[in-house]
Amino acid sequence: MFNLSILLITSFLSSVATFYVNEDLKQGPVRSSAVLSLIVGVCFYFFSHSINSYLVKNIPIVFIGASFIGMVSVRLLSNYLLIGTAGVIFCLIYLNTSKFFNGYGGALGISASIALLAVLSIPILNKKKRLTNGFIQLRKIVFKSGGSN
């Protein structure tokens, strides 16, 4: 139970921190995810002997996967709580289906996109104080950008 709590907290913080570095510090989505993941990976590489082996194996993977969620565009999702919620959903997907994706490339990205789509399906309050669905916002962005190309 303790290990699960640590992984859930890690995934929440990873997605929120990546989004913060991406949007607020203007570092871009790829650099934000890469730098934070590198820091976590290096820390767990050097301090692996003093930490539980289960956490040493899983925290870097969960952190990297949840950081993919933080790469989301602010035009699509800008609520830190929803981004963190998507990170937690990612962690639950990872823990319950990691054996299913064994041998397939892109399992972390697929799990992150499923978690993000799950959060986008939650009705949210937009800036005009109207309740809307995240999928409707996604469709508007896709068709708006598709028509201008």
What are the tens digits of pLDDT across the range 42-62? 998 898 888 888 889 899 999
Domain boundaries of the chain, sorted by first residue:
2-148
pLDDT digits over 83-141, tens only? 999 999 999 998 888 676 666 667 888 889 889 988 887 766 556 666 566 666 666 76
Angle at the Cα of 38 (from 11 to 43), degrees rounded to 5?
A: 80
- Angle formed by the axes of helices 29-46 and 2-19, nearest 10°: 140
| pTM: predicted TM-score of the whole model, two decimal places | 0.80
CA 106 to chain centre: 14
CB of 56 closer than 8 Å to CB of 41: no
